[in-house]
Each structure stands twice: as C-alpha cells, then as structure tokens.
Amino acid sequence: MNDHDLDIILALAEDRLSGRDAVAAEAHIASDPELAAELEAQRTAIAAIHAAGQVEMTDAEREHLHAALIEQLHLEPAAAAAAPPRESRWAAWLAPLAGAAAVAAVLVGALVLLPTMIGSDDSTDVTAVAAAQTTTTAEAQDAAADAAAPLGTISGGEAEDDGAALESAAPTTVAASSVTSSGLILARDVPRLVAPDVNDLEKVLEDQSFPSTYTTGETVDVDETLLAECIARLDALTATSDHELLGVAQADDGTELTYISYLAEATDKTHVASLDLETCELVATSS
Amino acid sequence: MTDRADRDVQLIQRYLGGDVEAFAELMRAHENRVFAIAMRMMRNREAALDVTQDTFLTVFRKADRYRAEAAFSTWIYRVTVNTCYDHLRRSKRKRTEPLPEFHDPPDHSTASALSAAELRPDLESALTKISPEFRAAVVLVDMQGMSLDQAADTLEVPTGTVKSRLFRARRQLAQILGNFAPTAEHPTDEEP
C-alpha cells in the first residue's frame, strides 16, 4: 500500500469524499482485497470509537478539583489581589517550618523518599518524608523544555523512554502533608523508598521498590536551622531556585535529618539528587 | 486567532494580574475537554482526575511563560497528553502502588450517567492494547474531533506522523475487535 492508497482509505473511512470521487475511490480500493480489508478495518474502528459516549466530571469531582487547585495555587479569595507566586519554590515549604506552632496547609505533592545512611547501617530505617510543592515528572520536564523552547511553544513535558531513571524517581502516589514548627505530619499514606546504601540510590530509583508505606499522621522532627542552611546551599549549588523539593529523609532516631532529594529543572535533563545535610554536598544523583 | 483563543489570552493576562475569576473562567472553558482526553487516555476515572489536576497545576504555574505564539488550548491539551504519558509510564512501574482517594465517589444518581459515558468494554479493552502514542492520536482526532493538523500541533509531531499513527491505531483496534486480519506486509507501518 502506498501513500496515495493510504490517503484514499482515510478519506473514504472518514466520509470526506462524495459523488464521483467517492465512487471512483471505492472502486479502486475494492479492486485490491488488501486495500478493501484496510478500509473495512478503518471503518470498523471509527464506528466503534464514535459509538462511545462523552465523559464528564461530576459536580463533586469538579468542585474538588477547583478547591484543590485554588489551595495549591494560593488563590484564596482573600489573596486574590496578589499574582500567582513565582518566588523560590523552597520558600513556600520553608515558611511554615519557620512559623510558630500552627499547622500550616501545605501543598499536595509528589514524594521521593530517600534513605538515611547514618553509619551505613542497612537496617537503619527511614522514618520521615516531607512533601513540598506538587511535583510531577511532566512538570519538571516541562520546565526543562522551557529553557530551550521559545515562550509560547512550551512543551508539555513529554518524556522520552530513555528518561526512565528520572521518571522512576517520581512516585505516582500524591500525598499531602502538613507542617508544624516541630515536624512534618503526613496527611495520608505515602510510598516509602529504601536504598540499602546511598551508592545504590540510582539503582533503587530505577527498581522502584516500595516495600512499605508511611502511615497517616506520622510526625517528623526537623532541624529548621540546618534545613534552611542546606537549602540555601542547595540553591547556590544548583545556581537556581527553580527546582522542586521532593522530600526529605531522616534517621529513625528522629533527630538528624540527613538527606534532601530534589529535582533541578534548570538543566537539559531533570535530576533527582540527594543532598547530605551534614556536609551540604550532593551524595547521589539520578537523571 | 479564534474568539476562544483571544479570550484565553485575555484571561491568562488577568490571571497573572491576580484575577481569580479569570482562573475560574479558564477552568470552565477547558476542564471538560482536559478531563475527557485524560479519561480516554488513562481509562481510569481516578487517574484521569489526577491527570486533570496535574495538568492545570502545570499550566497555571507556568502561565507567566505563555506568550500566545501557540493557542492556549493547544498548549493545555499538549500538557494533558504529556501528563498522561507520564502517569502511564509511572503507573506501569508501580502497579502495586494504590492511588490515593482524593475525591468523593460518585453517588448513585450519577452512577448511571457515568456508566453510560464509559466506553464499550470491548473497545475499552482494545484501547489498552495499543500504545499511548497511538491512543493519543485516536483520542484527539476520533474522539475529540481535532483535525490532523491540530492533533499534530498538540502532539508536537508532523501531520504525517499523526496520520500514520491514526491509521495504524485504527487498524490495531479493528484487529483486536476481531474485524481485521492483518496481511504480512504493511508499508505504512513506517512513520514518515
């Protein structure tokens, strides 16, 4: 079948021909059993597809969607005068941490849970994660594409298959958390990612093993001063604040925060990295 | 530009100025189609709602970068499809990970409406067996009524590629539905 035949089959299947053109085209296609079978297949598929009804959100789903977006985009009516926030993405997460006591609403976010490696003890448990802003691989890659694409032709974040490692680093589970001055409280169960060794981080990210989940209401203590310092170091290290905090991991003694994972969007590839909070140095990356 | 496209540009500018009503109007204008695309791509209501939410989050967070060189609708549907691709890949890697509930289940009064809108089981099953890229061509052109050029802009591929994907997707669907026995050789299997 050549391109001409393909065009004729498509035109006939989609009823774009009429009169003598249609009769001639039908005759041409009918003269070749293979082409006739192709046309019949196209018509069969189109008929089946068109028989499907339209789908719509229910009112409840629509209301939930609007409410979630208003919250996550900081579009509370009282703050309507302000433009959408474009400040450092760390700020939205860090500000509540620095606050006094009240539980601050935090954005729904995707998490990557990275292991603590204190003492390189394989049995060391990771007990804490924190959600920052919503992060999807699509969004991150979208931003990466933005850097190279003219404005107005922004890619929607199409990922190629060779970006598997990156993709695997962003869990599908969307989790919500609240932040208090004393810690992070998970609002719902989230997946837990455990690497036996920091050097295995990349492998674990690719393997995507989630042997367990954290449970709702789990509280995590964080050292705010240390966290703030390392976030500043991270901004300097990556020469941009245009990245997303994905999560933090902590030793099971609840006292020492050891790693932050993040997505850096300002590069040609999106990276998932782990930052050692004791040295403020990158200890593992996956891209 | 069309009236809709012009209106979208105005709304984006108002939104960037802090007008929450502009956000609401943009949502009303595009949410049904975004959800419909997501639903057909994901075949799972909950996943489709996830995609819809992620799509609008991406679009509104990056609204300040939009310069109207392409229609806003093209951009948002592109984000929708790419978000679907992304979710499909991730869900494939984590089949055992349950998705969180973040919306109320439909009540009985809406159940019949929902089921009426679902795809026939055989077609729905068939759609799962073709690649996401092929499925996207079918969803945008055959289900959403886009032209080949519109679909090509949305998918950021040449029009010929959309045509080829559409042809092959329909053929595969027909084959799966039992209406087509492929022959040994199909020159059009190679994309332009």
pLDDT for res A104:
21
Taking an 8 Å cut-off on Cβ atoms, the answer to whether B114 and A58 are in contact is yes
Amino acid at A258: T
Domains of chain B (ranges; CATH) run 1-97 (1.10.1740.10), 119-179 (1.10.10.10)
**Among B15, B16, B167, beta carbon nearest to A6:** B167
Chain B contacts in chain A segment 134-163 (CB below 8 A): 134, 136-139, 141-143, 146, 150-159
Whether A203 shows a pLDDT value over 60: the answer reads no
Instruction: Please name every residue paired with A183 in a beta bridge, in sequence order, or none if there are none.
Output: A180
Q: What is the pLDDT of residue B43?
A: 83
- Asked if A74 and A154 sit in the same domain, the reply is no
* pLDDT band for position A208 (cuts 50, 70, 90): very low
Residue-number span of the structural domain to which A64 is assigned = 58-86
Give the angle A149-A151-A155 at the CA atoms, nearest 5°: 50
Residues A68, A146: one domain?
no
pLDDT at A197 over 50: no
The residue to which tokens 């409280």 are assigned: A185
The answer to whether A67 faces chain B, any CB pair under 8 Å, is no
Q: Report chain A's mean pLDDT, rounded to a whole number.
A: 50
Task: Decide: B99 and B50 in contact? Cβ < 8 Å.
Answer: yes
Helix (H, G, I), strand (E, B) or coil at A148: helix
Same domain, A81 and A101: no
Report the range of poorest mean pLDDT among A26-30, A199-203, A215-219, B120-124: A215-219
Give the separation between CA A95 and CA B74, rounded to whole angstroms. Answer: 36
A60/B104 Cβ within 8 A: yes
Give the pLDDT confidence score for residue A260 in this predicted structure: 47
Q: Does ipTM exceed 0.90?
A: no
Q: Are residues A19 and A122 in the same domain?
A: no
For residue A250, what pLDDT is reported?
Answer: 41
Contact A154 B87 (CB under 8 A): no
Query: What Å distances lie between residue A197 and A114, A116, A117, A202, A279, CA to CA?
Result: 10, 9, 7, 10, 18
Residues of chain A in contact with residue B65, where contact means CB-CB under 8 angstroms, are 146, 151, 154
Interface test with B, best of A32, A44, A55 (most B CBs within 10 A): A55
A270: number of Cβ within 10 Å: 29
Closest residue in A to B41 (Cα–Cα): A55
Could you tell me if A108 and A237 lie in one domain? yes
Q: Are residues A116 and A241 in the same domain?
A: yes
Q: What is the pLDDT of residues A21-63, one digit of tens each?
A: 889 999 999 999 999 999 999 999 999 888 877 788 999 999 9
pLDDT at A207 over 90: no
Q: What is the pLDDT of residue B138?
A: 95
* pLDDT, tens digit only, all 192 positions of chain B: 678 888 888 898 888 888 888 888 999 999 999 999 999 999 888 899 999 999 998 888 888 877 777 888 898 999 999 989 888 877 654 443 333 333 333 333 343 434 444 555 688 888 888 989 999 999 999 999 999 999 999 998 999 999 999 999 999 999 888 766 555 444 444 444
- The whole-number pLDDT of residue B121 equals 60
Comparing CB atoms, the residue among A37, A49, A167 nearest residue B180 is A37
Instruction: Verify that A99 and A136 share a domain, yes or no.
Output: yes
0.80 exceeded by the pTM?
Answer: no
Contact B20 A80 (CB under 8 A): yes
Please state the domain count of chain A.
3
pLDDT at A75: 73
Residue A103 has pLDDT above 50, yes or no: no
Spatial CA neighbour of A112 closest among A126, A95, A139, A130: A130
Task: Tell me which of A1, A12, A71, A139 to substitute to probe the interface with B (most B C-beta atoms closer than 10 Å).
Answer: A139
Q: Round to whole Å and give the CA distance between A154 and A144.
A: 10
Are A26 and A62 in the same domain?
no
Under an 8 A CB cutoff, do A45 and B173 touch? Answer: yes
Confidence (pLDDT) at B34? 96
Does residue A44 sit in the same domain as residue A115?
Answer: no
Whether residues A191 and A239 share a domain: the answer is: yes
Are A142 and A204 part of one and the same domain?
yes
Examine the pLDDT at A214 and tell me if it is beyond 60: no
The per-residue pLDDT for B6 is 83
Give buried/exposed letters for B103-132 (b at 16+ CB in 10 A, else e).
beebeeebeeeeeeeebeeebeebbeebeb
DSSP assignment, residue A14?
A: T
Report the share of chain A in percent with pLDDT over 70: 26
Please give the Cα distance from A258 to A107 (Å, whole number): 23
A84/B35 touch (CB, cutoff 8 Å), yes or no: no
pLDDT value of position A101:
19
Question: Which pLDDT does position A43 carry in this prediction?
Answer: 93
Residues A114, A247 contacting (CB under 8 angstroms): yes
Clarify whether residues A228 and A151 are in a common domain: yes
What is the arithmetic mean of pLDDT over A9-32? 91
DSSP letter string, B6-66: HHHHHHHHHHHTT-HHHHHHHHHHHHHHHHHHHHHHH--HHHHHHHHHHHHHHHHHTGGG-
d(C-alpha B51, C-alpha A133), whole Å: 16
Q: Which chain B residue has its CA at the smallest distance from A187's CA?
A: B100
Out of A55, A64, A139, name the one closest to residue B36 (CB).
Answer: A55
How much is the pLDDT for B87? Answer: 84
Q: Which residues, other chains included, contact A240 with Cβ-Cβ below 8 Å and sequence gap of 6+?
A: A264, A265, A266
Cβ–Cβ of A210/B186 closer than 8 Å?
A: no
Q: What residues contact residue B20 under an 8 Å CB cut-off, 6+ apart?
A: A70, A75, A77, A80
